[in-house]
Amino acid sequence: MENIITTTDNIRLYKIALGFALFTIIYNIAEGLISTYLGFEDESLALFGFGADSFIEVISGIGIAHMIIRIQKRPDSNKDPFERTALRITGFAFYGLVVALVFTSLYNIWSGHKPITTFWGVVISIVSIAIMWMLVLGKRNVGKKLDSEPILSDANCTMVCVYMSIILLISSGIYELWNIPYIDSVGTLGLSYFAFKEGKECFEKANSDKYCGCH
């Protein structure tokens, strides 16, 4: 009887984990569209870069959803070619984003460019922090119950999104309150640092059967 209950619980928990993954994909698509549009309109590089990062997270999220389906069917299996390819594509995308953001932010500092407003950066970052933090807690809860290293690793990676949202909140908030020059570009460089770490993590995961923690 215990085995039946355990199996039923596992099926339910994997469905919840998959639900978290699918929600992450949908949320990042919406966040990416809104952030890049408003970042472009308001000339806020930090918000635009944050939105571009969200689109890359969609690619990663697809790989995560595929991973959850795989480990549900074959708990002891290693990454398959689809997951490794998704990780490499995501890694290259992060590195490309880093180059674009660093060069643009340095140019903005050199030229003295400032955003029109960072109000929407404040709003979007607060919403993102709240949603991503709830996802972290949910993923960690499911990962612990399933004793699943891959799902716990995904929760830690979602935590990186919280860190990036905090950077956006700080840079956007400071500029909105005190109009300090270059703070939007400094925030962009902070986002670039985490994007670089995520890209490096993707290649490490793609070349190994281990699941890194995204720290």
Instruction: Tell me what the pLDDT averaged over the chain comes to.
Output: 93
- Is residue 181 in some structural domain? yes
Q: How many helices (H) and strands (E) does the chain have?
A: 6, 0
- Total number of domains constituting the chain: 1
Q: Residue 33 belongs to what domain range? A: 2-206
- Is residue 22 in some structural domain? yes
What distances in angstroms separate CA 119 from CA 27, 41, 133, one per listed residue? 20, 12, 22
- Is residue 122 in some structural domain? yes
Cα gap 172→180, rounded to integer Å: 10
pLDDT tier at 213 (50, 70, 90 boundaries)?
low
Give residue for tokens 């290293």.
Answer: 149
pLDDT of residue 212: 57
- Is residue 211 in some structural domain? no
The shares of helix, strand and coil residues in the chain, as percent rounded to the nearest 5, are 85, 0, 15
Chain-centroid distance of CA 187 in Å reads: 16
Terminal-residue alpha carbon distance, the chain: 40
Q: Answer whether residue 174 shows pLDDT above 50.
A: yes
- Is residue 161 in some structural domain? yes
Assigned token pair, 125: 């970052």
- Is residue 215 in some structural domain? no
- Is residue 105 in some structural domain? yes
Q: Answer whether residue 77 shows pLDDT above 90.
A: no
Q: Answer whether residue 72 shows pLDDT above 60.
A: yes
SS3 category, 174: helix
Q: What is the pLDDT of residues 32-58, one digit of tens each?
A: 999 999 999 999 999 999 999 999 999
pLDDT of residue 208: 86
Q: What is the pLDDT of residues 126-168, one digit of tens each?
A: 999 999 999 999 999 999 999 999 999 999 999 999 999 999 9
Q: What is the pLDDT of residues 180-205, one digit of tens each?
A: 989 999 999 999 999 999 999 999 99
Determine what percent of the chain is predicted with pLDDT higher than 70: 94
Q: Let me know: does 31 contact 54? Beta carbons within 8 Å.
A: yes
SS3 category, 198: helix
Q: Please report, as a single letter, which amino acid is at residue 95.
A: Y
- Is residue 86 in some structural domain? yes
pLDDT tier at 71 (50, 70, 90 boundaries)?
very high
Please state the pTM of the whole predicted model. 0.94
Cα gap 111→114, rounded to integer Å: 9
